[in-house]
Amino acid sequence: MERSSTTSLEAALACAARDEGGDNISVARWFAAYGLLLAAAAVPLALLLADQPWTWSQWLHDGGRLFRATGPAVKLLVFGMYLSLCCTFLPLPTGWIVAAVATREAAVAAGISSNVLAVALATTALVAAVGAVGSMLANLNDYHLMTLMLRHRAIRKVRYTRLVRLSARWFNKSPFAIVTIFSIVPIPVDVIRMLAAACRYGRLPFAGANLLGRFVRYAVIAFVTYWWDLGWIAVVALLGLAIALGAARLLWMAMARAFRPAEAPQNPQVPSEGARP
Structure confidence at residue 170 as a pLDDT band (50, 70, 90): very high
Report the half-sphere exposure of 214 (CA within 13 A, side-chain side): 27
> Alpha carbon 207 to chain centroid distance?
11
Residue 195 confidence (pLDDT) above 80: yes
Band of the pLDDT at 270, cuts 50, 70, 90? very low
**Alpha-carbon distance values, 138 to 12, 31, 94, 235 (Å):** 28, 11, 11, 21
Q: State the Cα–Cα distance between residues 2 and 214, nearest whole angstrom.
A: 43
Q: Minimal CA–CA distance to 84: which of 188, 210, 206, 190?
A: 210
Q: Binning pLDDT at 50, 70 and 90, where does residue 20 land? A: very low
Comparing 91 with 4, the larger pLDDT belongs to 91
pTM across the whole model: 0.81
What local confidence, expressed as pLDDT, does residue 152 receive? 82
With b for 16 or more beta-carbon neighbours within 10 A and e for fewer, the 238-275 pattern comes to: bbeebeebeeebeeeeeeeeeeeeeeeeeeeeeeeeee
| Per-residue model confidence as pLDDT tens digits over 143-166 | 999 999 888 877 767 777 787 888
- CA 6 vs CA 89, 106, 162, 167, 172: distances in Å: 36, 58, 13, 16, 17
Beta bridge partners of 87: 90
| pLDDT tens per residue across span 225-264 | 999 888 888 888 877 777 777 777 677 667 666 665 554 4
Q: How many CB atoms lie within 10 A of CB 126?
A: 20
